[in-house]
């Protein structure tokens, strides 16, 4: 073997770069992690959205996609839960055109609950019937979903975590904040009215119950899995839909309690926060989350150009990692490679000297995105830059 001279520079894996960014540590370069999610993996694999959602493990589709593009990334794995007294049946039926209807029936304590989900060969799935038909069903739904005797099955998650290895950061899915939990049962409009009409003490009692269940899940997950990072998602719980005041009242305390418990176990927390985020930047720091995404640009968000990015950098104060900000429509789909390079450079320049950056996208990358633009984003993101890092390294 040839003699190795000098001190070799460390080489980091995609997963290590992501975890270092979450911890505020320097790697050899910034991670570049487009949010590929569902649409692009289906296109890359040459399968329909129905096949992707029902037949191909999500973690595996992402692994193929991140490997194909040679970049960093993150994805989620879902825990399986089951009440021992519940019986579940699932039926899939073909609808006209490109759609399918999946009906799930759950029998629990002399009650019959059902949901309907519509799958489309070209679009993400959506619920056409929710678990609760209205607020009167909520108490029974909570008994089903938040029972202390719930069985947690992490078998498939552990297998996925092992199979992904260092290829990207696979995170443990912790569901959504409190408002979203209720809204996913009732629907957004009904949930808004429910929060407006219900006594605060009753809402607090339900939130405490939800939090207690989720803390139980964290305890089991930390004991029985090796996941380093956990994720809380976002459906409606954001400034753009419920506003910062309602979010602070009902969701911020919940997220903060989750963050504290995860940190007590030595784990990391990543939250997804759609839409506008300027009004809650200080809240992210106060909560102590490790990473937030996707810091969207207008019209969906409010983080625009160098000025907006400098505000994010200043407010986050190198205590929370920013992931995202490349515009998925105006820049990646409609823009030129030069537009993509300019936007990535704006992000890197705003965070010069900080390890708290993951160059990502303002939410999911569309299937219409020119492949050249994706590759230019990654190329510009991983390009050598000796300003933010201790040494100039490119691999």
Query: What range defines the domain where residue 306 resides?
Result: 14-84+134-382
pLDDT exceeds 80 at position 9? no
pLDDT at 390 over 60: no
Alpha-carbon span 74 to 275, nearest angstrom: 20
Please name which of 155, 156, 150 lies closest in space to residue 212, comparing C-alpha atoms. 150
User: At 251, which CATH number?
Assistant: 3.20.20.210
Asked whether residue 163 is domain-assigned, the answer is: yes
Average pLDDT on 214-220 reads 98
CA–chain centroid gap for 378, Å, is 20
In-domain check, residue 113: no
In a domain, 91, yes or no: no
pLDDT at position 5 over 60: no
Q: Which of 40, 56, 50, 147 is nearest to 364 (CA)?
A: 40
Instruction: Judge whether 254 lies within some domain.
Output: yes
Inside any domain, residue 212: yes
How high is the mean pLDDT of the chain? 94
Read off the pLDDT band of 11 (50, 70, 90): confident
pLDDT band, residue 7 (cuts 50/70/90): low
Strand partners, 135: none
pLDDT at 275 over 60: yes
Digit-coded pLDDT (tens) for 158-205: 999 999 999 999 999 999 999 999 999 999 999 999 999 999 999 999
| Contact predicate 16/23, CB 8 Å | no
Split into its structural domains, the chain has a count of 1
- Model's pTM, two decimal places? 0.94
| Residue 127 belongs to a domain | no
Residue 36 is assigned to a structural domain of this protein:
yes
Q: Report yes or no on 308 lying in a domain.
A: yes
């Amino acid at each position: 073997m040839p003699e190795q001279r000098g001190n070799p520079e460390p080489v980091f894996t995609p997963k290590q770069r992501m975890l270092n960014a979450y911890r505020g540590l320097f790697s050899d370069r910034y991670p570049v992690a487009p949010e590929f999610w569902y649409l692009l993996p289906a296109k890359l694999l040459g399968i329909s959205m129905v096949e992707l959602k029902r037949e191909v493990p999500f973690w595996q589709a992402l692994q193929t996609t991140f490997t194909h593009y040679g970049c960093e990334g993150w994805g989620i794995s879902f825990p399986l839960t089951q009440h021992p007294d519940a019986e579940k049946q699932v039926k899939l039926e073909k609808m006209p055109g490109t759609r399918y209807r999946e009906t799930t029936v759950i029998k629990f304590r002399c009650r019959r609950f059902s949901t309907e989900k519509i799958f489309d060969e070209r679009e993400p799935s959506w619920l056409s019937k929710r678990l609760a038909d209205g607020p009167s069903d909520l108490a029974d739904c909570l008994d089903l979903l938040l029972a202390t005797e719930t069985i947690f099955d992490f078998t498939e998650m552990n297998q996925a975590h092992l199979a992904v290895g260092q290829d990207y950061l696979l995170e443990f899915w912790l569901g959504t904040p409190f408002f979203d939990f209720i809204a996913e049962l009732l629907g957004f409009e009904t949930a808004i009215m429910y929060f407006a009409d219900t006594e605060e003490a009753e809402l607090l009692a339900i939130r405490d119950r939800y939090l207690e269940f989720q803390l139980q899940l964290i305890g089991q997950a930390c004991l029985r899995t090796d996941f380093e990072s956990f994720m809380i998602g976002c459906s409606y719980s954001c400034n753009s839909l419920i506003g910062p005041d309602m979010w602070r009242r009902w969701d911020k305390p919940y997220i903060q309690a989750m963050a504290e418990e995860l940190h007590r176990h030595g784990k990391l927390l990543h939250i997804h926060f759609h839409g506008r985020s300027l009004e809650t930047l200080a809240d992210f720091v106060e909560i102590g989350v490790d990473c937030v995404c996707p810091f969207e640009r207008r019209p969906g968000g409010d983080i625009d150009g160098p000025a907006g990015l400098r505000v994010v950098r200043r407010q986050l104060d190198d205590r929370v990692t920013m992931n995202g900000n490349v515009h998925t429509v105006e820049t990646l789909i409609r823009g030129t490679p030069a537009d993509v390079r300019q936007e990535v450079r704006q992000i890197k320049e705003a965070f010069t000297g900080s390890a708290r950056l993951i160059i990502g996208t303002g939410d999911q990358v569309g299937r219409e995105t020119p492949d050249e633009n994706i590759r230019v984003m990654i190329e510009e993101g991983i390009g050598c830059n000796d300003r933010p890092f201790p040494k100039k390294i490119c691999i």
